[in-house]
A and B are shown apart, each in its own frame.
Chain A
Amino acid sequence: MLSTIAAAALPILIAMLLLGGVAKLFMAGGDAEPGGLGRLGPAVLAPPRFRKAAMIGCALGELGLIGVLLLLPDHAVARWMPVAFFSVATYVLWDLRRRRPDVGCGCFGEVSAAPIGLRSIGRAAFLAGVAVVVAVESPGLAALSDWSWSTTAWLAGGLTLVLLLSTEIEESIARLRHRAPCEQRAIPAKRALSRLQSSTAWRSHAPTLMSDEPADTWRELCWRFFVFPAQDGADVVFAVYLSGRRPGVKWAIVNADGQPITPLRESMRVSA
């Protein structure tokens, strides 16, 4: 019975350690100085110049524990290391909640910005319990060879409990649902220019343009404007919509005063 539970517990531990370690490394490497204290977690207690090192150290420690779980299941001291890690994590979260109630747990980097609640602490305590089961039975890699339906049931139960205790799930769903609108997203000018150059509006005006490089370009809300000098002192202005797979491109030909010029073809009425 206990060996079945331990066999189911091992993948849960490995998955949590892997996700946590990679997410922390990603966050520490992605930004020179992590913005916002919320997602730092316990690293916020370290002096500012050591915060990044603390996050990287914690991440490497978590990844190292995976190796311990898989490769050293029989080592007397090593197999209790995950238990020590999650017990200390539980205490640190409990203490952090008391000392810095504004800070998130930082367990999974950026998505763990919500202030520490009982759920985060409960998850760390649950994982400590799971680690005890694994340490007692020490299944190692061999557990994966004799897999059974009851192990799968235990795994599903454990995963459900972990998911219920994870506040990050709600945070991730909220992020997916409320993606920043295009007015607030930085979009490089080069991407807009390549979108323009693949449009039909560009192809119809390209022969009249004096240069392939825009004379002026600027961004306003969801539009990026490009001005190209054309023949006879006129300018062609393109406006590229920055959102969507096939963005709309508008254009106008203007004279030196900025007044639109109607092309001859459009100004003549077509007679029957």
Chain B
Amino acid sequence: MTNRTVDRRRLLAAAVLGRDTEAPRLTADDGMTLDAVSGEILDVSPHLIIVEDDDGEERRMVIAPWATAWHGASLPPADLPVGARVVIRALRSGTVVDRIWANMTRMTGIILSISGKRDLTIELDCGPHRGRRSVVVPYRSSGRIRVRHPQLEAGYLFDAIGLMDAGTALAHIPATSQPPYRAKSVPPPPPAFRGVQSKISGAAAWGDFTEPGVTYPMLESADADCEDTGRSCAGLPYLAVGSMLFVRNVCDGRANALPIIGCGCIAGRFCDRCLECGTSPRGRLVELSATSYVELGGDLIKGCFNARVGLG
């Protein structure tokens, strides 16, 4: 399935149903999105950072006096290592650095096996589209991880945030409280009264992919080329790769229209709540790419934000 076919779907659906072909317009009431830059640090000083972004362009950005960075712990931006992959939240049309996250990775999956005594090595099944990966829980963060993941055994879900260190994924902080059920036993959605709501509330998480957009759990298995779709406890409607979703960060009041770029096969198995601002209803609705998540005002070291999602 090429990108062209997927982009064309929106036009074809508009043509056959007589919809407006324009993407839904965002108004000032929807809240302005922030700027996010993803790339690699070429040079960094206390006041200036030079980054090669994902398009290969060199960007020089001023570091705001209040800016902080995260690289396993909070630190001044000037202490970041050159060559680190960063995601930057930027202000003033992307010229002023507000916050930097370096070498971040998100480990979301089903635990396949656990080995090691002091440092734990966990083999994760990250879904049919992302395959398996091996993550290490260092001894110093294992207490923090275990307290939010009481069932650290095969068959249960795992979700942590950490750092990429020389090709190894090191888990630092838990991204959510582990759901108490096994990954295969996702609770059913509540019964739908009077059809599907046009806007659905729940949690939005970020995922380890760079393409801007969201992954969404309720795709037909024939459309997503895998059998693991269609699981969600949030009562989501079926959509397709290429559909536009209107994602609103309820905590920050920012919204954006983002395309569905893939199957959130694992995200749909999380029937958790986001506690970022108040308690969200159950269910992980979408998984955003790191840049899309930051643009909507999300903080990468917090695993989620309370979101409201509607068809754009």
The 0/1 profile, CB within 8 Å of B marked 1, for residues 245-272 of chain A is 0000011101001111000000000000
Alpha-carbon separation in the docked complex, A32 to B181 (Å): 15
Residue among A184, A189, A237 with max Cβ neighbours from chain B (10 Å): A184
Alpha-carbon separation in the docked complex, A200 to B149 (Å): 56
Which residues of A sit under 8 angstroms from B26, Cβ to Cβ? none
Partner of A36, one of B12, B185, B196, B311: B185
Partner of A37, one of B13, B16, B185, B219: B185
Partner of B17, one of A33, A187, A239, A254: A239
Bin the interface of chain A by size. 35 or more
Q: Give the contacts of B147-205 with A (CB-CB under 8 A).
A: 155, 181-182, 184-189, 191-193, 195-196
Q: Given A178-B192, A221-B311, A259–B15 Cβ distance below 8 Å?
A: yes
Q: Give the contacts of A218-249 with B (CB-CB under 8 A).
A: 218-221, 223, 225, 227, 235, 237-239
Nearest B residue to A38 via CB reads B187
Q: Given A237-B15, A254-B12, A219–B238 Cβ distance below 8 Å?
A: yes
Q: Are A239 and B13 in contact (CB under 8 A)?
A: yes
Nearest A residue to B12 via CB reads A237
Q: Give the interface SS of chain A, mostly helix, strand, loop or mixed.
A: mixed
Q: A217 on the interface (CB 8 Å rule)? A: yes
Q: Give the interface SS of chain B, mostly helix, strand, loop or mixed.
A: loop
Q: B237 on the interface (CB 8 Å rule)? A: yes
Q: A30 on the interface (CB 8 Å rule)? A: no
Partner of A235, one of B12, B182, B196, B236: B12
Q: Are B220 and A36 in contact (CB under 8 A)?
A: no
Alpha-carbon separation in the docked complex, A239 to B17 (Å): 8
Nearest A residue to B2 via CB reads A216
Nearest B residue to A180 via CB reads B192
Which residues of B sit under 8 angstroms from A250, Cβ to Cβ? 16-17
Which residues of A sit under 8 angstroms from B223, Cβ to Cβ? 189, 217-219
Q: A47 on the interface (CB 8 Å rule)? A: no
Alpha-carbon separation in the docked complex, A56 to B54 (Å): 56
Alpha-carbon separation in the docked complex, A260 to B243 (Å): 19
Q: B242 on the interface (CB 8 Å rule)? A: yes
Q: Given A225-B13, A254-B11, A186–B237 Cβ distance below 8 Å?
A: no
**What is the size, in residues, of chain B's interface with A at 8 Å between Cβ atoms?**
41
Nearest A residue to B231 via CB reads A35
Which residues of A sit under 8 angstroms from B186, Cβ to Cβ? 35
Nearest B residue to A261 via CB reads B15
Alpha-carbon separation in the docked complex, A252 to B15 (Å): 6
Alpha-carbon separation in the docked complex, A257 to B237 (Å): 28
A186 nearest CB across to chain B (Å) = 5
Q: A181 on the interface (CB 8 Å rule)? A: yes
Alpha-carbon separation in the docked complex, A219 to B187 (Å): 24
Which residues of B sit under 8 angstroms from A189, Cβ to Cβ? 220, 222-223
Q: B264 on the interface (CB 8 Å rule)? A: no
Q: A76 on the interface (CB 8 Å rule)? A: no
Alpha-carbon separation in the docked complex, A250 to B12 (Å): 12
Q: Are A184 and B189 in contact (CB under 8 A)?
A: yes
Q: B9 on the interface (CB 8 Å rule)? A: yes
Q: Are B237 and A184 in contact (CB under 8 A)?
A: yes
Interface residues of B (CB under 8 A from A): 1, 5, 8-9, 11-13, 15-17, 155, 181-182, 184-189, 191-193, 195-196, 218-223, 230, 235-243, 311
By Cβ-Cβ distance, the 10 closest A-B pairs, closest first, are A258-B11, A183-B237, A218-B240, A178-B191, A252-B16, A260-B15, A181-B195, A183-B196, A252-B15, A239-B16
Given A218-B240, A218-B242, A225-B9, 7 other A-B contacts at CB below 8 A?
A35-B185, A36-B188, A175-B191, A184-B237, A218-B223, A219-B238, A239-B13
